[in-house]
Amino acid sequence: MPNPEESARSPRVYVFHANDSEQHVARVIEFATMLRVRAGIDANLPEWSPPQRTDQVIAEKRRFDEAEFVLIVASPEMRRLMDSTQPGNPRVTTGAFLTRDDLARDLSTSLKQKLPVVLPGTTTTDIPRMLASYSTDKYQISTIDIADNEVQKLLRALRDSPLHDKPPLGPRYPIARDPEQHTSTSADPPAAEVLLLAGEKIVLDGRTFIVHDGVENPGGKGGPEILRQARALLIGEPNEPVWLRQAERKTHCAGEICAALAEEHDLLAEISQEQQAVPRPLALLDEGRTRTLVHSWPRSWRRRFETLAEYIPNPDELDAITVRRTLAALAGLAAPLESLHHRGRNHRELAPGSIVRIDDVHLALRDLGGAARPPVPGEPAPYPAPEQTLRAHGAIGPWTDVFQLAAVAYHQISGHRPHDSNPLPARVVCPVAPEDARASIDAALDPVPANRPTVAELAAAFRK
């Protein structure tokens, strides 16, 4: 059974294994623990059941009935019991019988739900023949780690998440009836007159915006799309500071950035109903070859758009009261980040410039960063976590946001940006910060993601 606080979104998984040896059982426990702690999978093991005396047959049937997926761990004893009716451990014998019965009752469904897993120390020859390992997928795990390719393949199966999204079906291409007659057509859509340019007044869907200086191009100016973002003032009553993110398409293709802006709009519409520290999506506006997402924030006495980048302190200006107030304000960002994490998304672009200062004690996310786009190996980020700098798969996840939030805190309470590879301990650069906060920042900046606290644990330390 899942713990009461666990998300109902996680698939219920039973890790079914035989007790070949103490070493084999230890590897199974390590594997199931990794699924729960690192991957957010609601994995279950008999070893985690209450110690009370119980009927093993009934308990095993209940585990099978409650599981959405059964991971059958290959081993010589598992193969012997699964492919025969020989006696063995009552629990494993019962599970083998239930698996055979399910396969006979509904083969196609059972093959999707009963997944063979090969852990280090065993081979594919230990997979029971009943599971058709030669003609169906199997998961031969080399290293019990979230970054292992086969672990990633297994997680995609458990979460029904394909490796690549199927592109949308485009319009039917017209077939010329007379090959001798051709008309010249342009591959580019009509030029737009609503690009974000510093100091310009632009009109989108009848709304007038004055674009401020400092227009950003996070992804550069190459490729089929350009992402621009900038502060702006929405003219009206009342005049309102806003943040604009705009994708410009150079061709007729739908475009990944355009699609990501639409997805960010939908995510914000959902999350802003439950969180205050995120922007409100005011509008998603399509004009010519551009799509623009307009963000706004809770009202405050401040009339201009400010971010933490304007409040990087001088180390000599810091005192215990200012540091505690800064840490408490940063702790307020944990809730919206957890909302993203519960939806399988990560911000990945946390930095002082991406955090809006509502007032002296309240902060908000400027936007959702890269949450609406899939992570790319080696992707740029203002405060990159070590796993983001890898050119191979770097196991990006909630721990990446933890690293970046800690890096922002380090900078804000010390006046020094943490060194990319080996930052000085927080206790050295900010002796006036509470000890719990300093220890948590240092742990969150650990290059090994598994050693970092959760975002909720980091926020709790900030509030002490």
- Verify that 345 and 270 share a domain, yes or no: no
- Verify that 312 and 456 share a domain, yes or no: yes
- Verify that 324 and 358 share a domain, yes or no: yes
The answer to whether the Cα torsion of 385, 387, 391, 395 is positive or negative is negative
Identify whether 184 is part of a domain.
no
Identify whether 379 is part of a domain.
yes
Asked if 293 contacts 244 with a C-beta cutoff of 8 angstroms, the reply is yes
- Verify that 249 and 278 share a domain, yes or no: yes
- Verify that 113 and 257 share a domain, yes or no: no
Distance of CA 163 to the CA centre of its chain: 15
pTM here?
Answer: 0.59
Tokens of 101: 């019965």
**Which one, of 141, 20, 150, lies nearest residue 79 by Cα?**
20
- Verify that 261 and 320 share a domain, yes or no: no
Alpha carbon distance 415, 418 (integer Å): 9
Bridge partners of 210? 201, 233
Identify whether 185 is part of a domain.
no
Alpha carbon distance 206, 28 (integer Å): 61
- Verify that 459 and 312 share a domain, yes or no: yes
- Verify that 105 and 147 share a domain, yes or no: yes
Tokens of 426: 């927080």
Residue 188, pLDDT above cutoff 70: no
Q: Residues 195-216: pLDDT tens digits? A: 888 888 999 888 899 999 889 9
Residue with tokens 């199974």: 28
pLDDT average, residue stretch 110-128: 93
CATH of the domain at 446: 1.10.510.10
- Verify that 136 and 219 share a domain, yes or no: no
Question: Is the bond leading into 218 cis (omega within 30 degrees of zero)?
Answer: no
**Which one, of 442, 451, 401, lies nearest residue 423 by Cα?**
442
Tokens of 31: 């594997």
Alpha carbon distance 324, 343 (integer Å): 30
**Which one, of 447, 401, 395, 343, lies nearest residue 152 by Cα?**
395
- Verify that 86 and 228 share a domain, yes or no: no
Identify whether 210 is part of a domain.
yes
Residue 139, pLDDT above cutoff 90: yes
Quick check: helix, strand or coil at residue 401? Answer: helix
Count of domains observed in the chain: 3
Last residue of a domain, one of 133, 158, 183: 158
Chain mean pLDDT for the chain: 86
**Which one, of 67, 49, 32, 27, lies nearest residue 154 by Cα?**
32
How many C-beta neighbours within 10 Å does residue 390 have? 16
Q: Would you state the pLDDT for residue 120?
A: 94
Residue 119, pLDDT above cutoff 70: yes
Identify whether 179 is part of a domain.
no
Tokens of 295: 């963000």
**Which one, of 368, 308, 311, 313, lies nearest residue 341 by Cα?**
368
For 212-259, give the DSSP string.
PS--B-TT-S-SSEEEEEEEEEE-SSS-EEEEEEEEEESSSS--HHHH
Using alpha carbons only, give the angle 219, 225, 229 rounded to the nearest 5 degrees.
Answer: 55
Q: Would you state the pLDDT for residue 424?
A: 87
How many C-beta neighbours within 10 Å does residue 238 have? 7
Last residue of a domain, one of 123, 158, 193: 158
Residue with tokens 């009206």: 236
Q: Residues 219-256: pLDDT tens digits? A: 777 678 889 999 999 998 778 889 999 998 876 556 78
Q: Residues 317-347: pLDDT tens digits? A: 889 999 999 999 999 999 999 999 999 999 9
Q: Residues 28-50: pLDDT tens digits? A: 999 999 999 999 999 999 999 98
Q: Kindly state the DSSP code that residue 129 receives in the 8-state scheme.
A: G
- Verify that 322 and 425 share a domain, yes or no: yes
Quick check: helix, strand or coil at residue 71? Answer: strand
Give me the domain span that covers residue 22.
12-158
CATH of the domain at 289: 3.30.200.20
**Residue 393 pLDDT class (50, 70, 90 cuts):** low
Identify whether 341 is part of a domain.
yes
Last residue of a domain, one of 231, 263, 296: 296
- Verify that 288 and 315 share a domain, yes or no: no
